Amino acid sequence: MDLILSAFEILMRWDVALALLAGSVGGVLIGAIPGVGPAVAIAILLPATFSMDPIVGLTVLLGIYGSSMYGGAIPAILINTPGTAVNALTTYDGYPMTARGEPRRALSLAYSASFYGGVFSVVCLILFAPLLAKVAPLFGSREIFLAALLGIILVVVAHRGQALIAGALAAFGIFIQTIGLEPVKYSQRYTFDQDFLGSGINLIVVVLGLFALSQAFVLLMDEDEKVHLTKLRGGMFQGLRELSRHPRIATVSASFGVLMGMIPGVGEFTAQFMSYTYAQKTSKRPQDFGNGSSEGLIAAETANNAVPAAAMVPLLALGIPGEALTAMMLSVFYVHNVVPGPALFQNRMDFVVALYLALLILNVLVLIFLLMATKSLIKVVKIPNRFLGVCILTLSFVGVYSLRNSATDCVMAAAFGMIGYILKRLSLPAVPIILGMVLGGIMEVKLRAGMARVKEPLDFIDRPVAFILFLIIVIVLVAHTIRVLKDRKERKEAEWQTKTSSTNFGGLMLRRKSSFLKGRGKQVRARHSKLLRRLTDLF
């Protein structure tokens, strides 16, 4: 109780209140505009938050992260275009509801489910915080190294069908993080005697390039789409009532969200997928899923909104971000010399709880805002794409230039913007680059520190947590290999079934080689030849 009171004390400031309001309203707006995700907004606002107090800056960013998914449900339901990437599953059941004339029901249900997910996860984490504070100190350098390694591996293998290129891009991130002056031996790495590379490539420059500028380029090169909006009539409160009829699905989905959010590199998509599958399997009307099922909508929206609070756990407790948005937030901590990690959980528990409480208040604010203002809010969906591109390009300048007032940074951000644009055109992920950069840096420091007291390779995993993490890494890699082999087998089978070209005789013989050499084959052929001989003898 004391902890919660002291956390409230941290939050009782006018600038924190303003940050909460700005974060919630801004986040909803950003989420509601298709084409501007929370990543773009956080990347742009990041340098502006450096001059604020850590709690104020983080509240704004966390607010945008937490509330963008509420906003993202609006275009997903009304025009079948997810506002943020994680609202993709909302379109499955949300849009069919709009199509049959129930947009208001779908929206209010989405808000209520999101609210439940958000609040559930925050309450869970506040309750778990003391337990986490006990576990966090068990993580030394080796464990943090292994956890970071696990994070990278999970991010890579999560890109099904693209794991190799995702791995290569993560390695690219690890490489660009090494450019510049090496801090221990003071030697230059890959600077090519250029002064501007001496201090390394700034994470924020890369983030702004890969997320904000590339998105601006995509929008500028795109065509404008015509948007038809359905009119909303009536109140927005019926969703809360409908949600209360499905407490089991909402709770299980929120739990999936919390669990998946805590694991680095897994995040919203897996949580949504698992809860949607669960809801469909246990539903009395599974045939409705994908055709406007309220249970499907609840599963999708509850799971994705339970993730932001949980995603803060590895960041705060171990200093390891699990995805791009928390990786960006890490730089806010570093700028203020607050190093997230076990020490933060032990010494500044009130700060951690304050962040969670801020997220809780934020959810309430967003729900109130949305229930009141949805009708006027939906107009932002109509902003034309290319004009949005102009706006993002203008705002990206603030982000990059205010960092060090350097034109070289802007050139580098533009170059990364082009890389990001190419990746988007090819449907390749940019997130592994960012995580490679952040986790690569952490791994370098922690491996060096961890190896100082290690004589034999096996000593590295002689502590229980390190051993468990190592075991998980092995299991993940083995599971991934099995999946790749299974996919390969399926592909081969499909290739064989769909083969239309004529099969040559030599190939046919070669494939039947083993059957020819087996005893049964010999018997059959002997019988055939006997019959053939009898037949030929007749003539």
Partner 1 sequence: MPSEREHRFVGPRRGQLVFALAFVVIALLLLSQITGQTRWVEKTKFVAQPRFWPAVGLGGMLLMGGLHLYLLPWRRVSRYDMHEVRNWGKVLEYVLWFMAYVLAVPLLGYLPVTLAFVPALSWRMGYRGRLMMGLSLGFALLTVVLFKSLLGVKIPGGAIYEYLPGALRSFFILYL
- Binding positions for partner 1, 205-224, rule CB under 8 A: 213, 216-217, 220-221
In whole angstroms, the minimum distance from the beta carbon of 392 to partner 1 comes to 11
Query: Quick one: which of 128, 172, 273, 467 contacts partner 1 (CB under 8 A)?
Result: 172
Residues 6+ apart with CB under 8 A from 271: 253, 256, 257, 259, 260, 261, 303, 304, 306, 307
Query: Quick one: which of 63, 83, 117, 417 contacts partner 1 (CB under 8 A)?
Result: 417
- The letter for the amino acid at 321 is P
How many Cα atoms occupy the beta-carbon half-sphere of 337 within 13 Å? 0
427 lies in the binding site for partner 1 (CB under 8 A): yes
The closest of 434, 396, 433 to 414, measured between CA atoms, is: 396
Read off the tokens for 58. 């983080």
In whole angstroms, the minimum distance from the beta carbon of 417 to partner 1 comes to 7
Query: Quick one: which of 248, 489, 491, 522 contacts partner 1 (CB under 8 A)?
Result: 491
In whole angstroms, the minimum distance from the beta carbon of 427 to partner 1 comes to 3
Of 136 and 388, which CB lies nearer to partner 1 in the complex structure? Answer: 388
Compute the distance between CA of residue 308 and CA of residue 65 in angstroms, rounded to an integer: 7
Of 77 and 154, which CB lies nearer to partner 1 in the complex structure? Answer: 154
401 lies in the binding site for partner 1 (CB under 8 A): yes
In whole angstroms, the minimum distance from the beta carbon of 114 to partner 1 comes to 27
Site for partner 1 in 58-117 (CB under 8 A): none
- H helices, E strands: number in the chain: 25, 2
Site for partner 1 in 213-272 (CB under 8 A): 213, 216-217, 220-221
Residues 6+ apart with CB under 8 A from 302: 113, 114, 116, 117, 120, 249, 250, 253, 254, 257, 275
411 lies in the binding site for partner 1 (CB under 8 A): yes
448 lies in the binding site for partner 1 (CB under 8 A): yes
Site for partner 1 in 134-163 (CB under 8 A): 160-162
Q: How many residues make contact with partner 1 (CB under 8 A)? A: 73
In whole angstroms, the minimum distance from the beta carbon of 170 to partner 1 comes to 7
Whether the CB-CB separation of 329 and 30 falls below 8 Å is answered with no
389 lies in the binding site for partner 1 (CB under 8 A): yes
Give the chain's radius of gyration (CA, Å).
27
Compute the distance between CA of residue 211 and CA of residue 393 in angstroms, rounded to an integer: 11
346 lies in the binding site for partner 1 (CB under 8 A): no
187 lies in the binding site for partner 1 (CB under 8 A): yes
Cβ atoms < 10 Å from Cβ of 430? 23
**Beta bridge pairs of residue 255:** none
503 lies in the binding site for partner 1 (CB under 8 A): no
